[in-house]
Structure 1
Amino acid sequence: MIFSSQILAADTANNSLTSQQPVKRSLCVFDVVGANGDIFNMMKDYRLDVLQWGVDLQLKAYTDERVASDDFKTGQCDSVLMTGTRARAYNHFTGTLEALGAIPSYQELKLILNTLLSPRAAKLMVQDDYEVVGIMPAGGVYLFVRDRKNDNLSTMAGKRVATLDYDPASLEMVRQVGASVVSSSTTSFAGKFNNGSVDIAYAPAAAYKPLELYHGIKPNGGVINHVVSQLNLQMLIRKDLFPEGFGKKSRAHTLKQLDMAFEIILKADQEIEEEYWITPPLSSVHKSELLFRKVRTSLKDNGTYNPKALAFMKKVRCKVSPAAAECSQKSD
């Protein structure tokens, strides 16, 4: 009996040890630079943190976001890090955060992310089998132009614009200003802009140096200093493959990293040389905002944008700028 008890005790200890071993799960990371990029390196640090939660993430870098999204969709990735526009296929609410003109500055973006990453917004993070377990800012999206004369929307008619063909908002905006859509992807738009195949491209400042966009704006171009949208990176998981409470812990962890993330994107904005920034006329800014609002309404009506997300972002805009004309109007 003593011998049997010793065997039972040993088996129990071994089972306990085994149950404490972290589960292996895959994380597919979109980074235009690949495994040497800042985003991928950031996720290496994240991987070390989540080991404490019982998950061993196996990281895989993707330079083509479409492939990363497809691999997640088909189950080849247990989790994925990608932009908000791609994430819209898995979470309609968070996938609307990149709506045109909906978040005009980092001030509004901070308020929005602090709210969405808090426990009170947990229900919004889950849709069907997927859960958003982190949202990080990736910087304001600006228009890069090869000719400084194209400093407002009225001068862009007939110009060729590198357009992400999977994004209805971009396609609608380009068509509204009478410009020509040149179908592009996150891997091809920079090359087309730099070699002159297109006149205009749009990207966050973080892409300026890695994608060598300075080749495209020299010698006569620049960057229009008016935010078109706020790019963000979202991490999604297949909820049933991760331990209970993983999403809550991950969002809390992301919330703690927000200040550092904003420092990084502000630094990226500052790395664009001052002489290349183009300040658009106030009349042009106003026209752009009206166009953005028109596109948002159109895409809300056709189901592309989530109405609750648009209303939430307007509420934040009006909290920051209560005197804005839109705050007395019903539009989103």
Structure 2
Amino acid sequence: MKSLKKIITALGATALLANQAHAEAIDRKFCIFDPIGHNGPLFNVMKSSKPTALKWGVNFELSAYTDEKIAAEDFKAAQCDAVLLTGTRAREFNKFTGSLEALGAIPGDQEMQMILQTLNQPKAAKLLTNGNYEVAGILPAGAVYLFLRDRNVNTVDKLQGKKIATLDYDPASLTMVRHIGASVVGASSANFAGKFNNGSVDAAYAPAIAYTPLELYKGVAQDGGVFDYKLAQMNFQIIIHHDRFPEGFGQKVREYASGQYDEAYKLVATAESEIKAEHWMHPAKEHVSGYDNMLREVRISLRDEGVYDANALRLMRKVRCKTNPKNAECVDKRE
């Protein structure tokens, strides 16, 4: 009986401490882009982090957005204190981290993790701050692939004249599609999948994690495929209004996010396994180096035009040269 009383007393004390922590926490609104909405994986991941944020003195009110543009606009208008966006959309708030999705700049998971480990160090904080905007976390989302309705379109040359759903707010995507002679069909993260699935376009690009939730298999169907060449490495970024949070909050979130990387890559691996083996289209080995060089030239031109951040491209080139030091780019250092 005494033991039971002790347990009840302990539970009561725990509840009291929890209520006290909640009472002392500041209320902040976190706007989360998830194409599925409140039931989507991104929203649920952010929801699971609420107790941790509460320990740091912040009580988040979560709001789901299926339209990324509106989420970004509400954040810019200070209707959101924090926001979760794709790396490309985040570029307007931080050019450096917004360049991590640069075309062909990060070959694989190993390089991505090396870059994220570098940026999570406290000394890198200045790169993650732009005025009052602070990137408080970067979550890997896997490679971006080209999804095709016709698997006979199996080289870049055959994309000439084909209609590609293109993020019309992203200069890099517009430049790339035009560079290969394809036709731009303006799209957003909210509607590109629908355009691909209903046949309005011949191709669309996305990470594997979009395949099942956005039903891209409907567009691939029997005759299409997924071109097994990594166009970029997608990521999601948590951005905050720095002055709306306790000092050091951003660094705490970055360190917390780094502990979620293994889980993130498990989700990516599962998503890629959901694409049937017969739907993967493998480029000829002799073509791959040509694709690599093409993306590199596009990156450099976009840097010179002010789209990509030069320091970010330099960091990614250094990482590529650590894993593959024999590359010609490690000698000429044009990036």
TM-score range, shorter chain: over 0.9
Given candidates 74, 78, 81, the residue that maps to 1:78 is 81
Given candidates 263, 267, 271, the residue that maps to 2:270 is 267
Contact 2:128/2:134, CA 8 A, preserved across alignment: yes
Equivalent residue, structure 2, for 1:316: 319
Is 281-290 or 207-216 further displaced after alignment? Answer: 281-290
Q: Name the CA distance, whole Å, in 2 between partners of 1:18 and 1:227.
A: 45
Given candidates 238, 241, 244, the residue that maps to 2:244 is 241
Q: Name the CA distance, whole Å, in 2 between partners of 1:18 and 1:277.
A: 50
Partner letter of residue 113 of structure 1? L
Equivalent residue, structure 2, for 1:220: 223
Q: CA deviation at 1:327?
A: 1.3
Contact 1:30/1:68, CA 8 A, preserved across alignment: yes
Partner letter of residue 42 of structure 2? I
Contact 2:228/2:280, CA 8 A, preserved across alignment: yes
Equivalent residue, structure 1, for 2:93: 90
Partner letter of residue 312 of structure 2? A
Q: Name the CA distance, whole Å, in 2 between partners of 1:286 and 1:162.
A: 25
Is 247-256 or 280-289 further displaced after alignment? Answer: 280-289
Q: Which runs of 5+ in 2 are unaligned?
A: 1-19
3-state DSSP of counterpart to 2:330 = helix
Runs of 4+ in 1 over 2 A off after TM superposition: 17-20
- Matching of residue 151 in structure 1 with residue 146 in structure 2: no
Partner letter of residue 146 of structure 2? L
Is 145-154 or 51-60 further displaced after alignment? Answer: 145-154
CA RMSD of aligned residues (A): 1.2
1:34-76 per-position Cα deviation (integer Å, ceiling 9, x unaligned): 1000110000011111100000010000000000000000111
Partner letter of residue 24 of structure 2? Q
Partner letter of residue 236 of structure 1? I
Equivalent residue, structure 2, for 1:282: 285
Contact 1:20/1:54, CA 8 A, preserved across alignment: no
- Matching of residue 40 in structure 1 with residue 43 in structure 2: yes
Partner letter of residue 161 of structure 1? I
3-state DSSP of counterpart to 2:215 = coil
Given candidates 198, 202, 207, the residue that maps to 1:199 is 202
Q: Name the CA distance, whole Å, in 2 between partners of 1:258 and 1:120.
A: 20
Q: CA deviation at 1:331?
A: 2.0
3-state DSSP of counterpart to 1:219 = coil
Determine what percentage of the aligned residue pairs are the same residue. 53
Structure 1 residues 19 and 193, CA, compared in 2 at 3 Å: closer, same or farther? closer
Partner letter of residue 265 of structure 1? V
- Matching of residue 176 in structure 1 with residue 179 in structure 2: yes
Is 289-298 or 30-39 further displaced after alignment? Answer: 289-298
3-state DSSP of counterpart to 1:121 = helix
The TM-score with structure 1 as length reference comes to: 0.93
Contact 2:21/2:55, CA 8 A, preserved across alignment: no
Given candidates 98, 122, 133, the residue that maps to 2:125 is 122
Contact 2:164/2:202, CA 8 A, preserved across alignment: yes
Equivalent residue, structure 1, for 2:63: 60
Partner letter of residue 214 of structure 1? Y
Q: CA deviation at 1:120?
A: 2.4
Contact 1:117/1:254, CA 8 A, preserved across alignment: no
Contact 1:153/1:284, CA 8 A, preserved across alignment: no
**How many positions carry a matched residue from both structures?**
316
- Matching of residue 296 in structure 1 with residue 299 in structure 2: yes
Q: Name the CA distance, whole Å, in 1 between partners of 2:22 and 2:234.
A: 39
Given candidates 89, 99, 102, the residue that maps to 1:99 is 102
Is 66-75 or 286-295 further displaced after alignment? Answer: 286-295
Q: Name the CA distance, whole Å, in 2 between partners of 1:177 and 1:208.
A: 24
Q: Name the CA distance, whole Å, in 2 between partners of 1:176 and 1:63.
A: 30
Equivalent residue, structure 1, for 2:113: 110
1:74-100 per-position Cα deviation (integer Å, ceiling 9, x unaligned): 111111000111111111110100000
Structure 1 residues 56 and 177, CA, compared in 2 at 3 Å: closer, same or farther? same
Equivalent residue, structure 2, for 1:21: 24
Q: Name the CA distance, whole Å, in 1 between partners of 2:281 and 2:332.
A: 31
- Matching of residue 133 in structure 1 with residue 129 in structure 2: no
Contact 2:21/2:57, CA 8 A, preserved across alignment: no
Q: CA deviation at 1:19?
A: 10
1:241-289 per-position Cα deviation (integer Å, ceiling 9, x unaligned): 0001101111111111111111111211111111100001123222221
Q: CA deviation at 1:330?
A: 2.3
Q: Which runs of 5+ in 1 are unaligned?
A: 1-16
The TM-score with structure 2 as length reference comes to: 0.92
